């Protein structure tokens, strides 16, 4: 671990364990842990509990939220929006086989991947693909940001050491 910490200090931040699994620098490799907030910590907010529960059920996405060598952006639908509630994903998760075998919940996984962007949100107007493959962009209109397609209003955004969480008025399609 001392070797990894030393490499982190000189800026080498991504390694592979046996060529398969990424291993990287954590904030405490260079600075005290308490000085950094990760995207995963922002999603522990009680407001995002249901969405976070779904996200943490997918091992690939849960691991991705902890990377510190690459940014991630998560678009969280407003938990009070009718569109989010109508999807019924949380009840499907708890009442079906999802809770025991999350890899078999294709509907939930597809939904989540549409709401996660590997990397930072690009400059205004530039299109980018989410993990689910849908193309999105954003624009500023007055004091509000909107995601396109769909002109979905961004209600709030929070920054973390390894990315951002954007709360949006309704789920992405």
Q: Which two tokens stand for residue 24?
A: 């990287």
Tell whether 123 is covered by a domain. Answer: yes
Note the pLDDT tens digit of each residue in 29-57: 444 444 567 888 888 888 898 998 888 88
Res 80 pLDDT > 70: yes
Give the chain's domain count.
Answer: 2
Residues with Cβ within 8 Å of 133's Cβ and at least 6 positions away in sequence, in order, are: 113
151 and 127, same structural domain? yes
Tell whether 173 is covered by a domain. Answer: no
- pLDDT number for residue 99: 72
Q: Are 90 and 81 in contact, with CB atoms under 8 Å apart? A: no
The region of weakest confidence among 13-27, 92-106, 134-148 is 13-27
- pLDDT number for residue 102: 66
**Structural domain of residue 108, as residue ranges?**
37-168
Q: Look up the pTM and report it.
A: 0.77
CA atoms within 13 A on the CB side of 83: 11
């Amino acid at each position: 671990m001392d070797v990894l910490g030393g490499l982190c200090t000189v800026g080498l931040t991504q390694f592979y364990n046996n060529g398969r699994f990424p291993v990287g620098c954590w904030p405490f490799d260079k600075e005290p842990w308490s000085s950094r907030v990760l995207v995963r910590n922002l999603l522990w907010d009680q407001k995002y509990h249901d969405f976070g529960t779904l996200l943490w059920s997918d091992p690939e996405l849960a691991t991705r939220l902890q990377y510190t060598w690459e940014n991630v952006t998560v678009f969280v639908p407003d938990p009070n929006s009718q569109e989010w509630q109508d999807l019924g994903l949380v009840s499907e998760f708890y009442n079906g086989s999802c809770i025991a075998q999350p890899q078999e919940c294709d509907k939930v996984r597809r939904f989540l991947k549409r709401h996660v962007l590997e990397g930072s949100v690009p400059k205004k107007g530039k299109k980018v693909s989410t993990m689910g493959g849908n193309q999105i962009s954003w624009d500023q209109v007055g004091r509000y940001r909107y995601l396109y397609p769909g002109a979905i209003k961004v209600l709030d955004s929070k920054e973390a050491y390894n990315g951002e969480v954007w709360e949006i008025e309704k789920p992405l399609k």
